[in-house]
Amino acid sequence: MVLNGSGEIRLMGVEPITFGTEIQRSIQLSYKRKKMIQQQTTLKVTDNSGAKTVKCIKVLNGFNRRFAILGDTIIVSIQRLRNKARLTSKVKKGEVHKAVIIRTKNKTVRKDGSTIFFQSNAVSIINKQGKPIASRIIGPMPKILKKRKKLKFATLSSGFI
Using H for helix, E for strand and C for coil, what is the string for 129-143? CCCECCCCEEEEECC
Q: Contact 55/40 with Cβ under 8 angstroms? A: yes
What are the extents of the domains in the chain? Answer: 2-32, 42-160
Q: Is 39 exposed, middle or buried (0-12, 13-18, 19+ CB in 10 A)?
A: middle
CATH no. of 42-160: 2.40.150.20
Q: Is 152 exposed, middle or buried (0-12, 13-18, 19+ CB in 10 A)?
A: middle
**Residue 146: which region, alpha, beta or left (left: phi > 0; alpha: psi -120 to 50)?**
alpha
How would you write the pLDDT of the chain (161 residues) with one tens digit per residue? 555 555 555 545 544 555 555 555 554 444 445 567 889 999 999 998 889 999 999 999 888 888 988 888 999 999 999 887 777 788 899 999 999 999 888 888 888 888 888 888 999 999 998 888 988 888 888 888 777 667 777 778 777 87
Residue 140, pLDDT score: 85
